[in-house]
Amino acid sequence: MTSARFCTFSEPLPYPEAVSLQKRLVDARITDGIPDTFLLLQHPPVITLGRRARTDFLLADDETLAKSGITKQFSSRGGDVTYHAPGQWVLYPILKLSQNEMGAHGYLHALEDVALNTASHFGIQAYRKDGKAGAWCDQGKFAAIGFKFTRWVTSHGMSLNVKPNMNGFELIVGCGLVGERVTSFQGVLGVETCPSMDAVAEVVAEVVNEVFQRETELIEPEDL
Amino acid sequence: MQVPEDLKYTESHEWVRLEGDLCRIGITEFAQSQLADLTFVDLPEVGAKVSAGDEVAVVESVKAASDVYAPISGEVVEANETLSDSPEVINEDSFGEGWLFVVKPDNVSDLDSMLNAEAYRALLPEE
């Protein structure tokens, strides 16, 4: 098992700050200044567009977004358009993938496994859809994926809808998938039985160890 | 895994072919295989000055975006525009039709410090 660090943020982190934090960690990871590091955090409401995102998949103009308290950011990750908000965990692994470990496809599969295994821990029957990245259950898609390699160090990653305000998803065609329903743990389990954000975070931290074969040490944001 | 003998390589999996006083540049067969089916390519502008190690292009597959770095300093004199419509050519022929851009290097001798085929092959996982 490779040692690694896992850091959960208790307060939502604005998207641009998360981008600069990841950039700093990626640079440090490339030069082996830090071990593999997983960030688990929430963003204030934001719609982000990947490099090849088609703006017609963003259904709201800037004014509507501003009224809804949602900002818009362009992102260097792969993938199309997506929405983040409190109540959704975002997992950003900063991993140096060894040449023998996995390529983009294996990494995508591993991120999907994190979403699927976490959902299944809470009794949600979840599955992949062929040819599409992400994780689904019968009620819709609950995890979205988009990542970047910088000299084979990963950044960006996966978002998991636990209990976000789902209104923001109505303003986008999520991941460019037309007619795709989006759901959350709360949408599947109901308000009463939906686990807390903290409970989900603990499970994600365990699942990450299994899926990526890492032995993670929990650290605080100030130790990053 | 193909690693042509007549090319130079970088640790970040770019290749360089010296053609007269120009360098044709692409990503290796190993790199394209790791990224899987490419769906999008962002190329440098012709006329752009680049320095070795600069992020100059982006290739994107499934949900992964990956930077491509300039292996050598110089001026971009040509970019493979056909890739915009058919990025899958990089998967099919990474050392040939799937080239990304051509640089007129400031110093051709910079190539000497790059990896040869044998050194690059040693970086790849055992087949």
The CATH number of whichever domain residue A182 belongs to comes to 3.30.930.10
Per-residue pLDDT band for A160 (boundaries 50, 70, 90) equals: very high
| Across B69-89, average pLDDT | 96
B63 vs A76, A78, A152: nearest CB:
A78
Beta strands A71-74; A132-137: pairing state = unpaired
Beta strands A81-84; A2-8: pairing state = unpaired
8 Å CB contact between A161 and A142: yes
Dihedrals φ, ψ of A198, to 5°? -65, -40
Structure tokens at A201: 């975070």
Q: How far, in Å, CA of B42 to CA of B19, rounded?
A: 23
| Across B23-34, average pLDDT | 95
Dihedrals φ, ψ of B32, to 5°? -65, -35
Q: What percent of chain A has pLDDT over 90?
A: 75
User: Is the interface score ipTM higher than 0.85?
Assistant: no
Per-residue pLDDT band for A174 (boundaries 50, 70, 90) equals: low
A99–B contact, CB cutoff 8 A: yes
Beta carbons of B65 and A51 less than 8 Å apart: yes
Structure tokens at A19: 């981008």
Q: How many domains does chain A have?
A: 1
Q: How far, in Å, CA of A176 to CA of A72, rounded?
A: 16
Give the per-residue pLDDT at A196.
Answer: 98
Give the per-residue pLDDT at A21.
Answer: 98
Query: DSSP readout, B39-85?
Result: EEEE-PPTT-EE-TT-EEEEEEETTEEEEEE-SS-EEEEEE-THHHH
Q: How far is CA A13 from CA A41, A87, A89, A161, A196, in A?
A: 7, 12, 11, 16, 19
Beta carbons of A76 and B61 less than 8 Å apart: no
Structure tokens at A72: 């818009």
Beta strands A46-49; B74-79: pairing state = unpaired
Give the per-residue pLDDT at B5.
Answer: 97
Beta carbons of B36 and A103 less than 8 Å apart: yes
Q: How far, in Å, CA of A2 to CA of A209, rounded?
A: 10
Per-residue pLDDT band for A2 (boundaries 50, 70, 90) equals: confident
Dihedrals φ, ψ of B21, to 5°? -105, 20
B14 compared with B64, residue with greater pLDDT: B14
Q: How far, in Å, CA of A51 to CA of B62, rounded?
A: 12
Domain containing A178 equals 2-223
| Across A147-154, average pLDDT | 91
Highest mean pLDDT among A56-60, A198-202, B81-85: A198-202
Q: What is the pTM of this model?
A: 0.89
- Tokens 């490339």 sit on residue: A30
A175 is catalytic: yes
Give the per-residue pLDDT at A135.
Answer: 97
Give the per-residue pLDDT at A175.
Answer: 66
The answer for A 190-209 residues in CB contact with B (under 8 A) is: none
